[in-house]
């Protein structure tokens, strides 16, 4: 399994989870999964930043739903363009991305409507933090760097430039500033 990297952004006194993403390098591409808000609603998608390590502008492709086998679109300056075929990801990589996404969620996130999250919700309430649709697990919050407005986690060895580039293209409201 390839080395996965993670980034999370959290506004404790605002929107809550701004973004959570994991990614890995595969040949000249960046592949991964992300979740965050778009217009107040949670959005999750698998993505490929094609030709990231090549000269020129990489192509950003993402799923329309939280399904690596679902429909894909390419982000263009004029909006998302549907792809007739999904991104060129092998079955092995699709399976690996799904496994990484499941591990990432188990480790970092919980969803407000999941059964059995009352202890997680109570732990957030004890810290005077709201329970939202998508939340960072309370026992992981101290892993984040606590900035004034945004708390952030950038995994060890994770290239911040990937996060910055991706945030200019992803289907989420929040943009990461350099």
What pLDDT does 132 receive? 95
**Would residue 116 count as lying in a domain?**
no
**Would residue 34 count as lying in a domain?**
yes
Q: What is the pLDDT of residues 63-110, one digit of tens each?
A: 988 999 888 898 877 777 777 666 668 889 999 999 999 999 999 999
Residue found under tokens 């994991």: 22
**Would residue 73 count as lying in a domain?**
yes
**Would residue 54 count as lying in a domain?**
yes
What pLDDT does 58 receive? 80
Looking at the chain, list the stretches that DSSP marks H as alpha helix, in order from N- to C-terminal side: 91-108, 118-126, 160-167
What pLDDT does 177 receive? 82
Confidence class for position 7, pLDDT limits 50, 70, 90: very high
Confidence class for position 1, pLDDT limits 50, 70, 90: low
What pLDDT does 49 receive? 92
**Would residue 149 count as lying in a domain?**
yes
Number of domains in the chain: 1
What pLDDT does 108 receive? 98
Closest CA to 174 of 47, 18, 16: 18
**Would residue 106 count as lying in a domain?**
no
Q: What domain range is 163 assigned to? A: 4-99+145-167
CA distances from 7 to 77, 84, 145 (A): 25, 30, 11
The contacts of residue 12 (CB under 8 Å, 6+ apart) are 129, 151
Residue found under tokens 């390590």: 53
Compute the distance between CA of residue 102 and CA of residue 85 in angstroms, rounded to an integer: 25
Q: What is the pLDDT of residues 96-148, one digit of tens each?
A: 999 999 999 999 999 988 898 999 999 999 999 999 999 999 999 999 999 99
Q: What is the pLDDT of residues 41-50, one digit of tens each?
A: 999 999 999 9
**Would residue 78 count as lying in a domain?**
yes
What pLDDT does 78 receive? 75
Burial 64-99 (b: 16+ CB within 10 A, else e): eeeebeeebbbbeeeeeeeeeebbebeeebbebbee
**Would residue 39 count as lying in a domain?**
yes
Angle at the Cα of 166 from the Cα atoms of 130 and 147, rounded to 5 degrees: 40
What pLDDT does 87 receive? 67
Residue found under tokens 């992981």: 140
Q: What is the pLDDT of residues 17-52, one digit of tens each?
A: 999 999 999 988 999 999 999 998 999 999 999 988
Backbone dihedral region for residue 157 (phi beyond 0: left; psi -120 to 50: alpha; all else: beta): left
pLDDT at 53 over 80: yes
Residue 128: how many CA atoms within 13 Å on its side-chain side? 1
What pLDDT does 19 receive? 98
Instruction: Please state, as a whole number, how many other Cβ atoms lie within 10 Å of the Cβ of residue 7.
Output: 24
CA-based radius of gyration for the chain:
16
What pLDDT does 170 receive? 93
């Amino acid at each position: 399994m390839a080395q996965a990297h993670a980034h999370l952004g959290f506004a404790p006194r605002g929107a809550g989870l701004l973004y959570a993403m994991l990614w890995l390098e595969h040949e000249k591409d960046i592949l991964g999964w992300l979740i965050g808000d778009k217009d107040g609603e949670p959005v999750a998608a698998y993505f490929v930043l094609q030709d990231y390590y090549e000269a020129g502008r990489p192509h950003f492709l993402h799923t329309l739903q939280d399904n690596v086998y679902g429909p894909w679109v390419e982000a263009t300056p004029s909006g998302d363009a549907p792809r007739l075929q999904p991104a060129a990801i092998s079955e092995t990589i699709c399976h690996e991305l799904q496994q990484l996404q499941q591990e990432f969620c188990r480790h970092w996130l919980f969803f407000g409507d999941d059964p059995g999250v009352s202890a997680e919700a109570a732990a957030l309430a004890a810290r005077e933090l709201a329970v939202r649709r998508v939340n960072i697990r309370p026992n992981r919050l101290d892993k984040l760097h606590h900035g004034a407005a945004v708390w952030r986690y950038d995994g060890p060895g994770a290239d911040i430039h990937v996060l910055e580039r991706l945030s200019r293209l992803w289907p989420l409201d929040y943009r990461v500033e350099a």
